[in-house]
Amino acid sequence: MGPRTAPPDNSPRAVTVRTLLRLREEDPDSFAGLVQGPDGSLELLVTRSTAATAKAIDDARALSGDAVRVRVVEGLKFSHAVLERLRDEILARHAELRSRGVNITEFGVDERTNRVRVGVKGLTPRLAELVALEFGADMLNIVEGGEWA
């Protein structure tokens, strides 16, 4: 007998998360992320509240029996989709940047800061400025990077 697929997690929290994550496709211009708050609640991060946001929250509450607290955090500057496109651009230009002396060893969307985190090995003020000018300083969190994994 071969490997079996694990049954889906139908706990109230998993149902809530799946329901809210639908906004990535249904409302990509406003969805900015989903994180766990300090009190254990889910924080739905959005650029602005929309009808789709309200519907997703209503659906999540109905499907989970209102067992999971969800807090909407509005006013984020960048949607998750915008940050993912920037992350993809950084990936596409990785070799070019390395040829210019920028050794990017990590990058990805950081939903909490609403930025793309970029780790640069051997980071200097000059390299940080170069990366910021290439991709937009207000969209980046540039940090000292470790070894390429």
Express each pLDDT in 45-54 by its tens digit.
999 999 999 9
State the residue range of the domain holding 30. 12-73
98 and 127 together in one domain = yes
28: DSSP letter: T
52's tokens: 């789709």
Residue 24 falls inside a structural domain: yes
Phi, psi of 130 (to 5 degrees): -60, -45
Residue 104 falls inside a structural domain: yes
CATH classification of the domain holding 104 = 3.30.300
Express each pLDDT in 34-86 by its tens digit.
999 999 999 999 999 999 999 999 999 999 888 999 999 999 999 999 999 99
66 and 85 together in one domain = no
Q: How many domains does the chain have?
A: 2
Map tokens 């509005």 to a residue.
74
Q: What is the distance of C-alpha 30 from the center of its chain?
A: 12
51 and 94 together in one domain = no
Q: In what order do the strands lie in the sheet with 115-121?
A: 103-110, 115-121, 140-144
